[in-house]
Chain A
Amino acid sequence: MESGGYRGAGLKILSKYGVSVGDTVRVMTGDGEMSGVIMPRYESASEDYIVIKLKSGYNTGVEVSKVRSLEKLAGPAKAATADVQAPAQKPGLPKIALISTGGTIASKIDYRTGGVRAALSASELYASVPELAGIASVDPEVLMSEYSENLKPEHWTAIAEKVAEKVKLDRYDGIVVSHGTDTMHYTAAALSFALQGLPVPVVLVGAQRSSDRPSSDAALNLIGATTFAAKAPVAGVFVAMHSGTSDDAVAVHVGTRVRKNHTSRRDAFESIDVTPVALVKEGKAEMQSSGIELAQRGRGKLDAKTKFDSRVMLLKYHPGFDPDLIEHAAKAGYKAIILEGTGLGHVSKDCFSALKKAVGAGVMVCMASQCIWGRVSMTVYDTGRDLLDIGVIPLSDMISETATAKAMWALANAGDPKKAMQENMAGEISSAIPL
């Protein structure tokens, strides 16, 4: 029997009466009787209740110790998903490949179980977001289904290879990658380095409110991402998400310049030190001057280097920071440390000796700032100059998450990783931060 999250007393009583999740049952308790469908139970909830969906639609928990009998009235009903007519595809539209990696940007909910699954086919996708059918001809493909907090550099490799495969078909005007939001900015940075010379836009998109909710930001974000991927005159890796709390505009950010800056808001993703490259509003992608030089669509030739070396540590310095951590990292075999220093790029002088040892042992130590906005300037104060003398590499205005992904890529692909870290490859370093 499928346990549906039941354990202990709950699981025992269901087994005793031969009842499974999805069955319609009549429960007799000391207080009376109740009929409904047995629903799954969340793993973390107490074991002592079974969950019943009543005819009114409400779920309610029945305490197992009160159950006198459980009678199965019917087996599972067919999943209640309505057949919806997808709008007809308009001919002659741009072609877009949609690669799904997880999250619930386009999904269907099963009201019987409350479960959510990805919308798999193009017609399901169009039924879910009908506007897409008027923007592009979208080929969806599910590559993986992972919460973004579970993604590793191996997954970046898989995503990069899938994108490269689609690009090489020379059939698509753009690629859209749906992604959980928690680490989307890391993946965006990783793809920016792995997929250089892209001839088309590759746009990552996610949702802060899952698409099983009527208020989901998924549809507008997907429309924004698809519009930009299909029509923008530029190429490269981008992230498209809500521009503000209102459902009126989607901001498109450069993949190496974006960060999730809020736990829950729709406009959590922000461009750091630059302006978003475009705002998608009312079906149009309005390009903006971002301060970053972008590749033109159709010019580039893809150079895919999709390997990553995950032996990189991102270390945030704080008052009371233990310098031994640096030595431990070096001993544990890390090849690079990205320090998130204070202010212009500082750590306490207490760390100097550990840093010397690490650098001496061949670890690449780089400095980004925990201020998030602004450039590290390590020649202003003594501490900065001392760190430079030790061999710490200043990362200019590169944000630390981007630096981490870049270091993993550089270790696996660059002849001289230290040099690579200081060169602008994908907009991650700029010579001027706009006022």
Chain B
Amino acid sequence: MALPDPKTLDLKVGFEIHQQLGTQSKLFCNCSCKEAEQYDKAFMRRLRPTQSELGAYDPAAMFEFSKMRASEYHAASGTSCLVEADEEPPHEVNGEALDTALVFSLALHSKIMDEIHVMRKIVIDGSNTSGFQRTMLVAMGGHLDVAGKKVGVQSICLEEDASKVLGEGDGTRKYGLDRLGVPLVEIALEPVTGRPEEIMQVALTLGRLLRASKRVARGLGSIRQDVNVSVMGGAVVEVKGVQQLDQLVKVIEHETARQHGLVVISEKLREKGVDENSVGDRIDDATDVVGRSQSKVVKKIMSGPRPVFRAIRVRGFAGMLGFEPYPGIRLGKELGELVRFYDLGGVFHSDELPNYGISQEEVDAVKKKLELKEKDAFVIVGGPEDRVAYATDAIVRRLKAALAGVPAETRAATLDGRTVFSRPRPGAARMYPETDIPTIPVTSEKLESLAASVPRPWDEVVDGIASKYGLNKKLASQIFDSDYLQVFEGIAGSTKVQPTFVASKLTEDVTSLQRQGGDPSLLFDDMIMDVFQRLDAGAIAKESVALIFEKLMKKEAATVDEAIRALGVSSISDDELSAALDKVIADNMAVVREKGMGALSMLMGRSMAVLRGKADGQKINAMLKDKLGKLSK
């Protein structure tokens, strides 16, 4: 089935951009915002819902938060202190970060609050040691100009970033504290309609505006987009963790297909006359029937703690659990993602069985046990008893929700642009004041002093770069959009190397090395500066720049020195060069005698093969010409 036009689906996409700021220190303490190289301390915590919070979460969330999840935090000195460990009250708000949020608000024509109040937003998945994220509303309203159209701004907030997930074990999640407390600006835009490419333009424009301020952190993970997607006026699905713009288009396309697919499924179910009472009207223990199966999955569950299997009867659903309105979109898959939330892997449904080592006899036994009729389906879920109990409830609720179409939930974006279930949507965010931090009045003097820092529109900035450094507009926009604008400007300002050459190395060459599997995050600004300074000093040749980058990006060298040594590209003296060229000419004397100056291009090729990176190509060319000229005489 081909996906209908987004317009007929009434596709609406709202953006929430979280941009890390490039401040020296964190939002509420003096620790560095840099990533930790290694962690040297660890501790364990268990968050629990505070009392009035309890009602706001469904049993599934309660289960996750209060029973199962312990968080193990890993810390490194310099990047975290007692504040991140929730062992000391927060210090006052980082002034540099607040100024940046105010500058963004001015740039987006947003109404800045008279007095800013820091709030605690409850988040008890463990990503914040305190159990809440500190956040403050800085401005509301305003607009972003996108290709002549105005996209409304809902709100601009300044908040602390969460800890980064390092891994997950049996009921414990491991976090690194270095990212906790890094200042983030959250900008929420009004939902827009249009094709995914047009929607992407909105995110791109906002991203460029922020970067033009030169106050933001750069690199992978420094900007995160949450997108709220809805089709046909249905429930809003929040997708978290979109890191790259090309991923965003795919995510929107995937969600459109998934949500429309769920709508199609719900229509079919209703045609079949299925209602809520059809789901889970009978739930039996099926451990005796399924537990003896030779299936590997079953055997693994049976060897674990307190194993049980439960069978859920779903009347009238036969064929609907495996039905795929679009490739990969089916209810059975949604259930698979759902039980993973409870750390369970064992869920099977009747549309896919017999399979996975579960035999026809076992399927028949379950059907018999549940007194299934021809049009009925079943779902089996297995694992430790307590988790299965929660998962069974969740499965029943999910299948009931399928009748209405798209459930409101939070999903996570995968790197290849799909989305997977991550958790039920929490109730309205519970917020209460962060009483440890005084309120912050914003004076008109303050705003006047920041007016000069408001970034100019993107095209103006690009034009400025183009004329200042003599770049063409394409190269200027590429260097602006890259992660290397700052180091580019540094090199252009402090060396005599041609800015065009620097910019093209930092855009085209780095991109092509990345396509060949190089990792640009291994190429640090100080290394880049070092390479161009050596070029400026004549210590290496122009040709060596990309070769050194390649060594570094492919992890074949850890430092510029190492790369140069490995390549053998430190430049040679004029005498050495002359001798090397004499040798090339001598080796090819027959051709030289025959063709005279006509042998130049062949000799150039042979010379470059030997001398690439050790001497400048133009210099080789000039010297060869000179030598040939003398010989021809």
Contact = CB atoms under 8 A, between A and B. Distances in A.
Given A32-B141, A128-B51, A245-B85, A59 B433 contact: yes
A215 interface: yes
Given A114-B433, A246-B45, A265-B87, A215 B51 contact: no
B111 interface: yes
Query: For B52, B82, B131, which residue has the most chain A Cβ atoms within 10 angstroms?
Result: B52
A57 B117 contact: no
A82 B44 contact: no
Given A127-B51, A264-B87, A214 B117 contact: no
A60 B115 contact: yes
Nearest to B122: A214
Given A45-B439, A60-B137, A31 B111 contact: yes
A60 B428 CA distance: 18
A88 to B, nearest CB: 16
Given A57-B119, A215-B129, A246 B55 contact: no
Contacts, number: 145
B243 to A, nearest CB: 25
Nearest to A40: B433
Interface residues of B, number: 54
A111 B117 contact: no
Contact of B131 (A59, A84, A214): A214
Nearest to A248: B44
Contact of B86 (A82, A110, A211, A215): A215
Contacts of A214: 47-50, 53, 122, 124, 130-132
Interface in B151-166: 155, 157
Contact of A111 (B85, B155, B430): B430
A108 interface: yes
Nearest to A61: B115
A84 to B, nearest CB: 4
A44 B44 CA distance: 36
Interface in B47-100: 47-56, 66, 70, 82, 85-89
Interface string A289-307: 0000000000000000000
B174 to A, nearest CB: 14
A80 interface: yes
Contacts of B45: 215, 246-247
Given A45-B439, A111-B52, A213-B50, A245 B137 contact: no
Nearest to B45: A247
A122 interface: no
Chain A interface mostly: loop
B221 interface: no
B55 A84 contact: yes
A82 B135 CA distance: 24
Contacts of A44: 438
B131 A265 contact: no
A150 interface: no
A58 B82 contact: no
B554 interface: no
A83 B441 contact: no
Interface string A111-148: 10010000100001001101000000000000000000
B47 A215 contact: yes
B137 A56 contact: yes
A191 interface: no
B155 to A, nearest CB: 7
A51 interface: yes
B113 interface: yes
A179 interface: no
Nearest to A119: B51
Contacts of A245: 43, 85, 87
A282 interface: no
Contacts of A246: 43-45
B89 A247 contact: no
Given A84-B55, A109-B52, 9 more contacts: A56-B431, A58-B117, A61-B113, A61-B114, A61-B439, A80-B52, A214-B130, A215-B86, A265-B87
12 contacts: A46-B115, A57-B429, A59-B117, A60-B114, A60-B115, A108-B52, A212-B50, A213-B130, A213-B132, A214-B49, A244-B43, A247-B45
